């Protein structure tokens, strides 16, 4: 990580990836809530207003996704 980089962005992206591969509904919800919290922290640290708004929007979107049921996995063939 270089100087001037916002470390919470990478953490939030990793939390989103964890949500996408979550095995159950509670893990899915926790991962999205964590992503929302990390996007909020990224927005708090950001000095550029455009990126700050983008991170805030991603935080709201992650929290909204956490409130939705997880997508159904593809049905097994057989």
Half-sphere exposure for 4 (CA within 13 Å, toward CB): 2
pLDDT higher than threshold 70 for residue 74: no
Q: Are the C-beta atoms of residues 22 and 28 closer than 8 Å to each other? A: yes
Mean pLDDT (whole number) for 35-59: 96
Q: What is the mean pLDDT of the chain?
A: 88
Residue 17 near residue 54 (C-beta atoms within 8 A): no
Confidence (pLDDT) at 73: 58
How much of the chain exceeds pLDDT 90, in percent? 77
């Amino acid at each position: 990580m270089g100087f001037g980089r916002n470390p919470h962005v990478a953490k939030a992206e990793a939390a989103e990836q964890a949500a996408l591969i979550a095995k159950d509904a509670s893990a899915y919800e926790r991962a999205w809530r964590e992503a929302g919290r990390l996007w909020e922290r990224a927005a708090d640290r950001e000095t550029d207003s455009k990126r700050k708004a983008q991170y805030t929007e991603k935080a709201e979107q992650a929290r909204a996704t956490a409130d939705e049921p997880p997508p159904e996995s593809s049905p097994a063939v057989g």
